[in-house]
Amino acid sequence: AQSVTQPDIHITVSEGASLELRCNYSYGATPYLFWYVQSPGQGLQLLLKYFSGDTLVQGIKGFEAEFKRSQSSFNLRKPSVHWSDAAEYFCAVGANTGNQFYFGTGTSLTVIP
Amino acid sequence: GAVVSQHPSWVICKSGTSVKIECRSLDFQATTMFWYRQFPKQSLMLMATSNEGSKATYEQGVEKDKFLINHASLTLSTLTVTSAHPEDSSFYICSVRGGSGRVGEQFFGPGTRLTVL
């Protein structure tokens, strides 16, 4: 069965430190992969997406993610975290056919000054 | 990508009343839209798939008579929460499926926060 796992429910980092949020997926075919950010009370904002091609994807706000097929992973990274990055982050997988779209359970990021 | 709007952005209603939430695809003809519900501190849960001109497909455990979905045009889908109760209070988000070449992508609306007193 298709699924998305975000192993870390909550992560705390210091401002200026690097960040990596983990995402693992289970999907039978080549997936479409997404990372979204959600601030409290707000909707989803797309950070980046991977469909094909270069496995290192650059997104908005200085985020990047790397697709590793051998590890079924699509981890999100940022070299230097800003206080405004504190939010909930969701990894998602979409199918290139049909309507399937699966969200991970989310990782809550706290940034301490 | 598609631009998706929702109206209202928030609504407060009394228990027993019905509430209608609109989802519009502003620049894209959407044959398929999706409705999600998100409880506090939780992920998005798919409620139903809305198909233009046909009946919606509901996920297991979602009451179709309580959550009425109408997708009457290629740009508008509505979700009506009938006889709302406090446990229906949640954040409702709609999305539009991408077109040719981007079928696996969804574009999300800003969400509607429903509070039932």
d(CA B37, CA B74): 22
Instruction: Determine whether the interchain pair A43/B109 forms a contact, defined as Cβ–Cβ distance below 8 Å.
Output: yes
Report the pLDDT value the prediction gives residue B100, as an integer from 0 to 100.
66
pLDDT at A81 (0 to 100): 98
Which chain B residues are within 8 Å of A108, Cβ to Cβ? 41
Q: Where does residue A3 fall: left (phi above 0), alpha (psi -120 to 50 degrees), or beta otherwise? A: beta
Q: Any chain A CB within 8 A of the CB of B30?
A: no
Choose among B1, B105, B109: nearest Cβ to A32.
B105
The reply to whether residue B43 touches residue A103, judged by beta carbons under 8 angstroms, is yes
Per-residue confidence (pLDDT) for residue A82, from 0 to 100: 97
- Coil, strand or helix at B115: strand
Token pair of B13 as six digits: 């209603």
* Interval B27-55 mean pLDDT: 90
For residue B51, the model assigns a pLDDT of 87
Residues B87-104: tens digit of each pLDDT: 999 999 999 987 766 667
Supply angle C-alpha A95, A23, B100, rounded to 5: 20
Flag if A96 and B103 touch (Cβ within 8 Å).
yes
pLDDT at B88: 96
